[in-house]
Chain A
Amino acid sequence: SQQGEEDPQALSIQEGENATMNCSYKTSINNLQWYRQNSGRGLVHLILIRSNEREKHSGRLRVTLDTSKKSSSLLITASRAADTASYFCATAPTGTASKLTFGTGTRLQVTL
């Protein structure tokens, strides 16, 4: 089934370092989205990138999309302790009747 798979499952870095998370999917998509979830909270939307886009920026976040490889990456630059959270990619398959499908997430730990 259509699903984003994040890699790695867990990532631990020190404050100030960059964090890179990857997402792979299986079939054609209309868009791909990244969400963050802090412990005990709901998911929060970070960025949406459409299939005809290759790169998008938002503050310290940079998302790339390679539709030929069916993969996306999320880069968080100059990480902070507050970035500690789980990060999910979600894919919107082609076909207007298809729903958004979430991956299993990457757990990011940023230490001081």
Chain B
Amino acid sequence: DAGVIQSPRHEVTEMGQEVTLRCKPISGHNSLFWYRQTMMRGLELLIYFNNNVPIDDSGMPEDRFSAKMPNASFSTLKIQPSEPRDSAVYFCASSLQQQETQYFGPGTRLLVL
């Protein structure tokens, strides 16, 4: 298996632009997680899905952030409009079940100017 796939790996955009991050989980995994990591705040869970259904989005910073999982093999995290404080590394992870081992993607390094 190729592992969790994220795209793009790097994104540089200007404030106010829409940003879409993409994730392909490991085939057969039922849970998918979106994290954000910064030096100041560490690793933060934004939202997670079980069987394509959002279970907990309490970590989503504000209405500018939205996430979807239209099917078992694809998820997106969208920021609209983006702001400089959104600059971070965004990780997607998947697991067989929500409390079991999580497999992380390589991350998307986002810079909002």
Contact = CB atoms under 8 A, between A and B. Distances in A.
Of all A-B residue pairs in the complex, the 5 with the closest CB atoms, nearest first, are: A42-B104, A92-B99, A43-B104, A45-B101, A102-B43
A96 B99 CA distance: 8
B103 interface: yes
Interface residues of B, number: 20
B42 A99 contact: no
Given A41-B106, A42-B104, A42-B107, A100 B43 contact: no
A101 B99 CA distance: 9
Interface of A: 30-31, 33, 35, 41-45, 48, 88, 90, 92, 96-102, 104-105
Contacts of B91: 42-43
Given A42-B106, A88-B43, A99 B101 contact: no
Given A42-B104, A102-B42, A105-B43, 8 more contacts: A35-B102, A42-B91, A43-B93, A43-B104, A45-B103, A96-B99, A99-B56, A102-B43
Contacts of B99: 30-31, 92, 96, 98-100
